[in-house]
Amino acid sequence: MVVKNRKLIKEFQVQSKTHPDKSIRAYYLALQKIAKESQKFNQFLADIINKRTDLTEKHLANLMYRSTQYIMIYHNGKRDLATMEMDDWIKEYSALLDNEALLDTHYIQNTTENTQTTKYQRYAGPKAALKAIYKNRPINIADIGCGLNIGLPGIELDYPYMRIKDNTGDSTINKLVKDSVNVKKGISVDITNPKEKLTWALACSFYPGELGSLEETETLIEFLWNKTKTDFYQYDAKNINSLWNEKKLPKLDAAIASTFLYQLEDEEREKTLKNIGKILKQNGILIVNDFVEVDGTLSWDVDWFEKGGSSYRTVVLVKTKSGFSRPYEFIIWKNARCREASAGRDFDKVINLKI
């Protein structure tokens, strides 16, 4: 059992050193200590590892924290998690292991759910790309793997973003995101209905240090959902072309895939990209907003939390007759919270792209 768990525990060690949130680092330190002492915990790890053969250790470790945070917020009524240290997490997680009802919730979430992180601020990059490329032209846009479904409604309604520290020169990104995008038709797609999984998605979307803005986000969600004209479809985004065929939806000028593709295995990702291409117009664009590196192709084998750097980028691909163009690296973000931006190697090319 310990051998089976070794890779996951090693990932706990990595996250305890590299995660940007202090409380989450302490959480992974706590899990390492519990793993040395608790047979019940080791059995729990072995059980979820056996069930989640679709997830890497990195994704499973992330999922475990998200489930724990869900339980802390929505079952234990605790939102002040930012100051928690290793001993605090040991106490809380040990209590979780001793509570059969909560442990059952924890098990079900870790064996059936996926992380569903939605940060409205992340859509600043896609909006900047859309504005730069299409100017004021009316366009059909889809948000594929939309999570909470606030990204595209926010673009449609021109809801503002927090100010970005813009290192691109002449504050280009801040200027682009302040202007409205002319959304002719908006379509959001996710395998999960956000109205049915709202609390789970919220638990997945915040670090402990950000939980103070949870109520503000809940208000934003309610506003955008009530005002938007963007259509939502509950559908497996990996088979997005089938939805378009079934519903006879219009071809797209642009598709957004924000913090979605990194969750897929390589084969699934290639299939998904191919299917997205089928619903785009010729010369339509795919905006990938994700943990990815660009070097002629998209490279997904990256550290999410690089010391002294970032793997979170906004990338543009253009549909061609043979598939997609090479990826154009538009924005390099300091981190996935998207508050500081630098020009990618193809920044000027995207700004001047003619479609």
Q: Above pLDDT 90, what percent of the chain? A: 88
Do 200 and 269 belong together in one domain?
yes
Residue 1 above 80 pLDDT?
no
Judge contact between 333 and 341, C-beta under 8 A.
yes
CA distance 148 to 117: 8
Residue 10 belongs to domain spanning? 2-112
pLDDT, one tens digit per residue, over 297-354 is: 999 988 877 655 678 999 999 999 999 999 999 999 999 899 999 999 999 999 999 9
Do 68 and 169 belong together in one domain?
no
Q: Above pLDDT 70, what percent of the chain? A: 98
CA distance 280 to 176: 23
Do 82 and 180 belong together in one domain?
no
Q: Which of 112, 145, 162 is the last residue of a domain?
A: 112
**Mean pLDDT for the stretch of residues 232-241:** 96
The rounded mean pLDDT for the chain is: 95
Judge contact between 21 and 308, C-beta under 8 A.
no
Do 29 and 80 belong together in one domain?
yes
Do 19 and 128 belong together in one domain?
no
Do 288 and 166 belong together in one domain?
yes
Q: Which of 58, 91, 112 is the last residue of a domain?
A: 112
Do 82 and 141 belong together in one domain?
no
- Chain centre distance of CA 30: 25
Do 99 and 173 belong together in one domain?
no
- Helices 86-98 and 100-112, interaxial angle, to 10°? 100
**Mean pLDDT for the stretch of residues 111-128:** 94
Residue 111 above 80 pLDDT?
yes
Do 167 and 55 belong together in one domain?
no
Do 212 and 86 belong together in one domain?
no
Q: Which residues contact 215 (CB under 8 A, 6 or more apart)?
A: none
Could you give the angle at the alpha carbon of 296 between the alpha carbons of 181 and 139, nearest 5°?
Answer: 15
pLDDT, one tens digit per residue, over 242-260 is: 999 999 999 999 999 999 9
Q: In this predicted structure, what is the pLDDT of residue 310?
A: 75
Judge contact between 310 and 280, C-beta under 8 A.
no
Do 313 and 270 belong together in one domain?
yes
Do 65 and 133 belong together in one domain?
no
* Tally of domains within the chain: 2
pLDDT, one tens digit per residue, over 2-52 is: 667 999 999 999 999 999 899 999 999 999 999 999 999 999 999 999 999
Nearest CA to 296 out of 326, 318, 325, 323 is that of 326
Query: Which CATH number characterizes residue 298's domain?
Result: 3.40.50.150
Give the count of beta carbons closer than 10 Å to the beta carbon of residue 73.
Answer: 18
Q: Which of 91, 112, 133 is the last residue of a domain?
A: 112
CA distance 46 to 296: 39
Length of the chain: 355
Q: In this predicted structure, what is the pLDDT of residue 308?
A: 56
